[in-house]
Amino acid sequence: MNKNEVRQKRVSEKVAEEQKARKRLAEMNLLDDFLFNTLAAYPEIGERFVRILLKIIFGREFKHLSVTAQKVYYGADTNLHGARLDVYLEPEIEENSDERVTVYNIEPDQRSDTSDKKELPRRMRFYHAKIAVKSLGAGADYEKLKNVVIIMIMPYDPFGLNRMAYTIKSRCVEVPEMPYEDGAGTLFLYTRGTEGVPNETLKQLLHYMEHTTDENAINAELREIQEMVRTVKKDPEVTAGYMLRYLRMMEELNRIRKEGWAEGKAAGMAEGIAEGKAAGKAEGMVVGMAAGKAEGRTEGELYNKISLICKKLRKGKALDEIAEELEEECSIIEPIYNKAKECAPNYDPEAVFEKMNRDA
């Protein structure tokens, strides 16, 4: 294959990947964090979008909101866990007002693995703590602590009772009816729940968020949101941003895949692939040391990264936790994370490695 043919092949491959990215964006629903956060942060649309959501969820208007998409609370130390909150909303209430400020965090969540569901309560406890710490200034009285409501929207049943809404608040175990208001609340909304449906409008909203199409925008508010979605998806900057993220992810995987094979075999790395342990040195000599080093280094890096992610999955870690602990972007490790999920509950690194090469 000559240089022109190689160049043309690369151009064709890039065009194909761009087409895949465009298709994924076009078909994306509002439970995808990229679309949800982009819509929430979009100028002249974001706050209106959030107001409609909150109005439907709580049955009242929200007049004062400050919306921040992808707000990150990092740990106080590099060894401490941080939290990424998908959409953080803080009503702007005047200082002389008697009304207590309530902070709302909305987070779509599609992680339905058993370990992810099991750790949801503790994950919510962590999110509450992070928001609370940031909402109370040094030396301020606890009376000034803001209320915090976390809203999780998910296409899976977090507690197995088929309820559309699970509202969680603190209470006294011995005297459940005793008033105990600490200002913290969590609302889990299950898009397919059929029990305890608060109202038809909320049911329509949750179905629409999972199936974001013109056909499912069956009332005036959903049609307004659908028009917002259409605007965002057609925005060249949004398309370019998503394509860049997608292509970077694919380029990273291709780089790892292409550069990794021979050195993993040549070095017989302790955590390398089985074939690298058994035949790496011989094959490395055959293909040449230079090529072996060029290819193998990143293959070994890929396997090591897979191994680390599998270890953390065995401990029940979520995607955002793993990304933070490995100091990587979620978009970089998400493909590995998804393949590893297919190998639950053993999370065998070699099986994950084979899946990634087979599906490449």
Residue 174 buriedness (CB in 10 A; 0-12 / 13-18 / 19+): exposed
Does the pLDDT value for residue 277 go beyond 60? no
- What does pLDDT average to over the chain? 79
* Other Cβ atoms closer than 10 A to 166: 17
Region 85-113 average pLDDT: 71
Q: How far apart are CA 197 and CA 257, in angstroms?
A: 48
Answer whether residue 356 shows pLDDT above 80: no
- Above 50 in pLDDT, residue 95? no
Rounded CA-CA distance 69/84 in Å is: 10
Q: Give the number of other Cβ atoms within 10 Å of residue 63's Cβ.
A: 9
Q: Which of 246, 264, 242 is nearest to 357 (CA)?
A: 264
Q: Which pLDDT band holds residue 241 (cuts at 50, 70, 90)?
A: confident
Which tokens belong to 275?
């074939």
Least-confidence region, from 17-31, 57-71, 289-303, 334-348: 289-303
Residue 164: predicted pLDDT: 96
**C-beta neighbour count of 182 within 10 angstroms:** 13
40-49, 105-114, 280-289: the lowest-pLDDT one: 280-289
161 contact partners, CB below 8 Å, separation of at least 6: 195
Give the range among 43-47, 99-103, 106-110 with minimum mean pLDDT.
Answer: 99-103
3 state DSSP class of 187: strand
Cα three-residue angle 210-215-218, rounded to 5 degrees: 85
Quote the CA–CA distance of 303 and 259 in Å, as a whole number: 12
Maximum average pLDDT range among 147-161, 249-263, 284-298, 341-355: 147-161
Of 209, 223, 205, 232, nearest to 46 by C-alpha is 232
Both tokens of 20, joined, read: 């895949």
Predicted confidence at residue 343, as pLDDT, reads 87
User: Is 318:334 a contact under the CB 8 Å cutoff?
Assistant: no
CB within 8 A of 250, min separation 6: which ones?
A: 17
Please determine, for residue 76, whether its predicted confidence score (pLDDT) is greater than 60.
no
φ, ψ at 96 (rounded to 5°): -85, 0
pLDDT-derived band at 228 (thresholds 50, 70, 90) equals very high
* Average pLDDT score over residue span 218-222: 96
- pLDDT tens across 166-212, in order? 999 999 999 999 999 998 999 999 999 999 999 999 999 999 999 99
Task: Name the burial class of residue 253, with classes exposed (0-12), middle (13-18) and buried (19+) by CB atoms within 10 angstroms of its CB.
Answer: middle
